[in-house]
DNA sequence: TAAAAATACTCCATAGGTATTTTAT
DNA sequence: ATAAAATACCTATGGAGTATTTTTA
């Protein structure tokens, strides 16, 4: 699982629809469909209840949504705090 | 960045050495070297100070280590809580 | 000079694309 | 009949391997 796939899942949860989420993510619907399936495989947890026009999160999906959001938020903090503030000089080789 | 790469970075931080960390991860040293470089690229943050026989984490590396640990810990909780306990019946297609 | 890290390739797995089919309204 | 999801296939990217070179203690 790629970290960017957390974004994919968040988008799906927010849009409530593969097609719309994929559009938002600038990827194609089929790709998102496969990606979410693979995430479910890797986690061993079903994330969404699929119905052609009614998508909902499972209990696991809700949990994972929280995880994905806080994980990405923390990652952004790391990015921000680590480099410009902490001023790590690049080692000259 | 793959989620498994968080493990790679944690191993590197703990072992303090690419060779030993790679061995622990059952991957090859050169692969780990490249992976960490790519993570630094993707994050825009230098994670380790490299010296042939003295490796240390940068400030960003310390921050990222905390992130990696808590992220993986939470992910494991999700895995555990979501599926056997919550008992999500697999939808019959 | 002997360890650890980096570099240069090669290969294969897979993310994401196009095209199409299935499904439910 | 239409809109959404799934499936089948293809391609390109990149993770990880082997072999080798550089580095410094």
* CATH architecture under which domain A4-77 falls: Orthogonal Bundle (1.10)
> Is any atom of nucleic acid chain C found less than 7 Å from the CB of residue B17?
yes
Q: What is the pLDDT of residue B83?
A: 59
pLDDT along chain B (93 residues), means of 10: 96 96 96 96 93 88 96 92 54 35
**A73 CB within 8 Å of a chain B CB:** no
| Nucleotides of strand C within 7 Å of the protein's CB atoms | 3-8, 14-20, 23-25
Cβ-defined contact of B91 to A59 (cutoff 8 Å)? no
The CATH code of domain B4-78 reads 1.10.10.10
| Tokens at A69, concatenated | 């959001």
DSSP H or E segment with residue A54: none
Q: What is the pLDDT of residue A54?
A: 83
Report pLDDT digits (tens) over A18-75: 999 999 999 999 999 999 999 999 999 999 999 877 899 999 999 999 999 999 999 9
B38-to-A62, A72, B31 alpha-carbon distances in Å: 31, 18, 11
Q: What is the pLDDT of residue B1?
A: 94
DSSP character string of B29-44: HHHHHHHHHHHHHHHT
Per-residue DSSP letter, B2: B
Q: What is the pLDDT of residue A62?
A: 95
Q: What is the pLDDT of residue B86?
A: 45
| Nucleotides of strand D within 7 Å of the protein's CB atoms | 3-9, 14-20, 23-25
Query: Which residues on chain A are in Cβ contact (under 8 Å) with B71?
Result: 71, 74-75
B23-to-A35, A54, B12, B26 alpha-carbon distances in Å: 30, 47, 10, 5
Pick B59's closest partner by Cβ from A2, A88, A91: A88
B5-to-A21, A54, A63, B68, B72 alpha-carbon distances in Å: 26, 35, 22, 9, 11
Give the SS3 label for residue B89: coil
Q: Report the DSSP beta bridge partners of residue A57.
A: A48
Rounded to a whole number of angstroms, the CA Rg of chain A reads 16
Q: What is the pLDDT of residue B87?
A: 45
Q: What is the pLDDT of residue A51?
A: 80
Reply yes or no on whether the pLDDT at A91 is more than 80. Answer: no
- Top pLDDT among A1 and A89 is at A1
Where are the domains positioned within chain A? Answer: 4-77
């Amino acid at each position: 699982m790629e970290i960017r796939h957390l974004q994919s899942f968040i988008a799906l949860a927010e849009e409530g629809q593969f097609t719309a989420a994929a559009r938002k993510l600038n990827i194609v619907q089929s790709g998102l469909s496969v990606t979410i399936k693979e995430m479910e495989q890797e986690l061993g947890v079903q994330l969404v209840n699929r119905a052609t026009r009614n998508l909902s999160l499972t209990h696991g999906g809700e949990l994972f949504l929280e995880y994905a959001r806080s994980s990405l938020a923390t990652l952004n903090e790391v990015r921000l705090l680590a480099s410009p503030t902490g001023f790590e000089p690049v080692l000259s080789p």
